[in-house]
Amino acid sequence: MSANPSERLDAVTHAIERAERIAGRAKGSVTLIAVSKTFPAEDAEALIAAGQAVFGENRVQEAKAKWPALKETHPHVELHLIGPLQSNKTKEAVALFDAIHTVDREKIAAAIAAECARQDRRPALFVQVNTGEEPQKAGIPPREAVAFVARCREVHGLAIAGLMCIPPVEDEPGPHFALLKKLAREADVAGLSMGMSADFETAVSFGATHVRVGSALFGTRPKPDSA
Ligand SMILES: *Cc1c(COP(=O)(O)O)cnc(C)c1O
């Protein structure tokens, strides 16, 4: 891995552009979310200085400690929640995040809808699908995903931007990305949040619109945390 953040960002950006080209997709059709979880604000700031404007965090508390000051100095920066959301954190999440990738149950959809109305905020919303049907993993089961998106719209009045998945670590990711794409088509949503450091190029070839890349940009995390 290259020595400094700006070289790492260049390497990942070029890899995405190459994957876009090979897949016959327009340059810039994939948004890179730089996942700064477990890394300090200075590391995120170094990437902002290198030109990165979209970041992801997986814990509301950690993001609250790190990002309000960064957002104040860099108002153009967009922050995405990519980790599980508890309903008692919905108020803080809607206030801080520009996108939430982990809408996965009725209760959280209702809580987000209520907070969006109260705060007059409209974060972009992705429904997380548990494509590997892993018991320990968040996300709605694939067979319920399309109906859940419909309920988000019809019952809760939420606009859903897309679907998100985290394939099981031991599986080939391709079939999971293909399943997510098929479900997105059925649910009539355009966004596909899929692909991490190990498989973002594969995800781009399967149509990812958002890739969530942490370690390839920031280095190895002290503790593995794939949640
Ligand atoms: C940590 C995390 C990522 C980034 O993982 P890397 O392998 O470090 O790129 C992506 N998505 C989610 C949901 C994560 O929790």
C-alpha–C-alpha distance, residues 188 and 202, integer Å: 22
CA 160/CA 43 separation, integer angstroms? 31
Indicate left, alpha or beta for 171 from its phi (over 0: left) and psi (-120 to 50: alpha). beta
Closest residue by Cα to residue 94 from 130, 118, 62, 129 = 118
Ligand 1 binding pocket includes 35 (Cβ within 6 Å)? yes
Q: CA-CA distance, 58 to 80, in Å (whole number)? A: 8
Q: How far is CA 206 from the centre of its chain?
A: 16
Report the atom number in ligand 1 closest to the C-alpha of 215: 8
Q: Closest ligand 1 atom, CA of 164?
A: 13
Residue 63: partners with Cβ closer than 8 Å, 6 or more residues away: 57, 79, 81, 96, 97
**Which amino acid residue places its CA nearest to atom 14 of ligand 1?**
226
Predicted confidence (pLDDT) per residue in 72-119, tens digit: 999 999 999 999 999 999 999 999 999 999 999 999 999 999 999 999
C-alpha 126: how far from chain center: 8
Nearest CA to ligand 1 atom 7: 197
Nearest C-alpha to atom 10 of ligand 1 is from which residue?
A: 212
Whole-model pTM: value is 0.96
Q: Which of 106, 104, 119, 120 is nearest to 154 (CA)?
A: 106
Pairing type for strands 31-35 and 99-103 reads unpaired
Atom of ligand 1 nearest to the CA of 33: 10
Q: Which residues are within 8 A (CB) of 90 and not within 5 positions of it... i.e. 6 or more apart?
A: 108, 111, 112, 114, 115
Cβ–ligand 1 distance for 162 under 6 Å, the answer no
Q: What is the pLDDT of residue 227?
A: 45
pLDDT of residue 222: 72
pLDDT in tens, the chain (227 residues): 556 889 999 999 999 999 999 999 999 999 999 999 999 999 999 999 999 999 999 999 999 999 999 999 999 999 999 999 999 999 999 999 999 999 999 999 999 999 999 999 999 999 999 999 999 999 999 999 999 999 999 999 999 999 999 999 999 999 999 999 999 999 999 999 999 999 999 999 999 999 999 999 999 987 655 44
**Phi, psi at 20, each rounded to 5°:** -60, -45
Is residue 20 within 8 A of residue 204, CB to CB? The reply is yes
Between the CA of 82 and the centroid of ligand 1 the distance, in Å, is 8
